[in-house]
Structure 1
Amino acid sequence: MRAAGSLCLGLLLPAVLGLEFSYHHSSELGAFLRDVHQQHPDITALHSIGRSVAGRELWVLVLGRFPTQHTIGIPEFKYIANMHGDETVGREMLLHLIDFLVTNDKRDPVVTRLIDSTRIHIMPSMNPDGFEATTVPDCSFSEGRFNENGEDLNRNFPDAFHSYNVTIQPETQAVINWIKNETFVLSANLHGGALVASYTFDNGNPATISLEGYSRSPDDDVFIHLAKTYSSNHASMYKGVYCDNKSVFPHGITNGYAWYQLQGGMQDYNYVWGQCFEITLELSCCKYPPASELQAFWNDNKAALIEYIKQVHLGIKGQVLDGNGQPVPNVIVEAKGREHICPYRTNRHGEYYLLLLPGIYVINATASGYGSILKTLHVPNGPENFSALKCDFVFPEVFTTVRDASCPTKPLYQQFESISAAGKPTLRFLALVTVLYTVFK
């Protein structure tokens, strides 16, 4: 059943938008973002994280009360669209989201609290070259899917399960650097060609794959909640009807691997190496629909885009401090029973953020050479109050340094690397390997 709307009336009524419902090419996109920043310099920052192969800027607009830099206790959120250049709806939805947020700040209480409590990064196009190469609306695949070098950017990230030879593209490297330089907590990337919310893992091997062909992460419950949050607040995604009118996506969501496996995907990279939960939102059966349909797409997605951002406030957050009250980076902070193969660590400010559903959890903070601190916490529903539960960990010692043991960009699930997503294993073979793994692990 569709979730009850939690947005105020102002979010459900059309806003007076200054942005037309049309496709905006690179020069127009850049001009719009510059204009927004010029008109709202107090709540926006505009920068490019790099350039495409053809030299186009990879623009990011940041929104928040402190848009120019990270603020302790304020989580970082991001939306990315148009990484496949011929999948165009998300690109325009993010431009309209920007317009909606800046227009409704201090007017709509939900938007105002979002901007008060969150630093929101929006990249309307990760693949501007591919978009420019897609010259006319077309529902099917086109060469504009790829970047200027003919590479699929959603197969171009380091993969946790499989070694394969790819040349990291400038657009991909820019996003990798961006992820490393920020403390992103939650993200979504917007695609087209289906109507579904897809979640990690996209790849897998017997360490993660069930006999049903489902590649499960340690935070599967959170990912299901995130995907359902979007689908249930979308006008029709929650119905689960695939583009051929066959109902194949219950609740409008799917595990990525269960749908189809891929290696080098961006959402798995975010989760494993970026400590950021990301889902993939397929927003339209038609990859590049006529511009006349864009307003309907905005009406369908507006509430979901806002409600999804609120989920960055799930779980717990805080700092790790030493005996002098100084923040300590590189401390592992994770919930017992859901440790990550690449452990989640505090940032340079000693901060951590863990997305968790409401419940009781034992949180373990471990500093190499200094021991561990365990705390049992009752986690409330943070999005209701636009804040995760705050909990600091204070070690009695005065720290000199905690060794940075960041994970290498190479496959981490290596027990059965040879059968990772190069080909989906048969159920019979998976059953045999799972038995052997149980016996010999």
Structure 2
Amino acid sequence: MTATPGEAMRIAKLGYKVVRTETEAFPAADSGYHDYAEMQAELDKAAKAHPKIMQKLSLGKSYEGRDMPLIKISDNVAKDENEPEILYDAHQHAREHLTVEMALYLVKLFTDGYGKDARITNLVDSREIWIVPDMNPDGGEYDLTGGKYHNWRKNRQPVGSGYKGVDLNRNWSYKFACCDGSSPVVSSETYHGPQAFSATETQRLRDFVLSRRIGGVQQIKAAIDFHTYSELVLWPYGYTMNSTAPGLGADAQKTFAALGRTFAKSNGYTAEQSSSLYITDGSIIDWLWATQGVWAFTFEMYPNSPSKGGFYPPASVITAQTARNKDASLTLAEYADCTYKIIGKAQLCSTASSPR
């Protein structure tokens, strides 16, 4: 008999012994990566080491019952302060394991660097930083079943006809299934789901983001959604090739482009509008910007070609390829208080002038 993690917990509470018989770990050559249990252990260790500035919270449970950790880092971490908030999320797509390492790197950067690095200390003191290290724990664990890779992208929710999985980054509500940027076919890697937010995991992050809307004002000001691969910095919109569109005027477009190019100067990626790669609809960055006014970017991490590992680069690159995004990640947080200042129009950041 097999059971999901949630089912296993319920069975154990009934007094039965639950035995794990299936290996869900990286191949030996890539043991430098963190599987789900190892990721949780690293987060627990960091929270214990830095209780004054870090909290390990939860978005809730995934479809199969795995906890989806939510990390908060701030100088008065137990208090909800009136400070700009930044969101970094990772691993919407199961096979993109390097993004989990990116999230763990950011946790370590902001906690271990606090009190030692003036730039980091200033950000932790003046911002509330949210990190979601694993948006797709079910898919990620399935991708490692038996100690080998399965090239799995979606979550593990049944979708009919014997198939499982929704592409989480096509399941957000803004322009959902609008523009041939996702698939209506349940077997497709880019299946968008029967309706927006049908996936448990997108519901969880959506609900958190909406909870940060205080007094009608979204507290999260900027975000990075980490993916692999292609070495790109992408900004909205993904659903249209037009550089400006409803909700994205000329000043906002110039700001996105200026920020994106600034990030690219530090990490060596190519900066472009999301649709320049290909049309996507129902993506998180389009939703974050269009519905919440969050300056949201997608970072497509290393490598830039299949020959360098594609979705499965060797563990030997983790240290260099996560640190590669240090400056860009910090720069985003620094601009979160007034992104328009990058184009010399700080006046647009006032409540009266802001588009949101």
TM-score range (shorter-chain normalised) is 0.7 to 0.9
Which segment drifts farther, 31-40 or 117-126? 31-40
Taking a change above 3 Å as real, the CA distance of residues 98 and 160 of structure 1, as seen in their structure-2 partners, is same
1:106 to 98, 102, 115: 115
Which sits farther off after the overlay, 301-310 or 288-297?
Answer: 301-310
* Distance change (3 Å), C-alpha of 1:364 and 1:215: closer
In structure 2, the CA distance between the partners of 1:84 and 1:41, relative to structure 1 (3 Å rule), is: same
Equivalent position SS for 1:268: helix
* Code of the aligned partner of 2:120: V
CA shift at 1:278, angstroms? 0.6
1:143 and 1:66, CA in 2 relative to 1: closer, same or farther beyond 3 A? same
CA distance 1:360–1:184, change in 2 (3 Å): closer
**Alignment match, 1:272:** 290
Which residue pairs with 1:310 in the alignment? 334
Task: Quote the Cα distance in structure 1 between the aligned partners of 2:291 and 2:324.
Answer: 32
Distance 1:364 1:42, change over 3 A: closer
Deviation >6 Å, runs of 4+: none
Q: Deviations over 1:304-362 (max 9, x none)?
A: 222232221324xxxxxxxxxxxxxxxxxxxxxxxxxxxxxxxxxxxxxx777323646
Match of 1:66 in 2: 76
TM normalised by structure 2 equals: 0.74
* 1:87 to 2:96 alignment: yes
- The answer on 1:166 being equivalent to 2:176 is no
Q: Distance in 1 between matches of 2:337 and 2:148?
A: 37
Q: Which has the higher helix share?
A: 2
Output aligned runs, 1:18-167, within 5 Å. Answer: 22-72=32-82, 74-135=83-144, 143-149=151-157, 150-160=165-175, 165-166=194-195
Separation (CA, whole Å) in 1 of partners of 2:264 and 2:73: 24
Per the TM alignment, residue 132 of structure 1 is displaced from its structure 2 partner at its CA by 1.0
Tell me the residue number matched to 1:181: 211
What secondary structure is seen at the aligned counterpart in 2 of 1:194? coil
Structure 1: 5+ residue runs without aligned partners?
Answer: 1-19, 238-251, 316-353, 366-373, 378-406, 408-441
* Separation (CA, whole Å) in 1 of partners of 2:88 and 2:254: 21
Alpha-carbon offset, residue 83 of structure 1: 0.6
Amino acid in the other structure paired with 1:152:
D
Describe how 1:254-269 pairs up with structure 2 within 5 A: 254-269=272-287
What amino acid is aligned across from residue 296 of structure 2 in structure 1?
Answer: E
Distance 2:151 2:69 in 1: 22
Please say if 1:226 is aligned against 2:226. Answer: no
C-alpha separation between the residues in 1 aligned to 2:287 and 2:61?
A: 21
5 Å-filtered alignment, 1:314-329, equals 314-315=338-339
Alpha carbons 2:222, 2:332 under 8 Å: kept = no
Aligned to 1:199: 235
Which structure has the larger Rg? 1
Give the stretch that moved more between structures: 220-229 or 161-170.
161-170
Cα 1:188–1:166 change in 2 (3 A) is: same
Could you say what secondary structure the match of 2:300 adopts?
A: strand
Residue 226 of structure 1 and its aligned partner are, at CA, apart by: 2.1
Structure 2 residues not aligned, in runs of 5+: 1-29, 158-164, 179-191, 213-218, 304-309
Residue 364 to residue 110, structure 1, CA distance change in 2 (3 Å): closer
Distance 2:148 2:314 in 1: 6
1:360/1:303 Cα in 2 relative to 1: closer, same or farther (>3 Å)?
A: closer
Distance in 1 between the 2:44 and 2:349 partners?
Answer: 43
CA distance in 2, matches of 1:287, 1:148: 19
The 1:258–1:40 alpha-carbon spacing in structure 2 relative to 1, beyond 3 Å, is: same
Q: Distance in 1 between matches of 2:37 and 2:346?
A: 50
**Alpha-carbon deviation of 1:215?**
5.3
Q: What are the Cα deviations for residues 21-46 of structure 1, in whole angstroms up to 9, with x where unaligned?
A: 92111111112112211111110111
Equivalent position amino acid for 1:41 in 2: P
- For residues 360 and 275 of structure 1, do their structure 2 counterparts lie closer, same or farther at Cα, with a shift above 3 Å needed? closer
SS of the equivalent of 1:177 reads: helix
Identical aligned pairs, as a percentage? 23
Match of 1:359 in 2: 345
Deviation at residue 127 of structure 1 after TM alignment:
0.5
Cα pair distance change 1:103/1:228, threshold 3 Å: same
Counterpart residue identity of residue 225, structure 2 = N
The SS at the match of 2:233 is strand
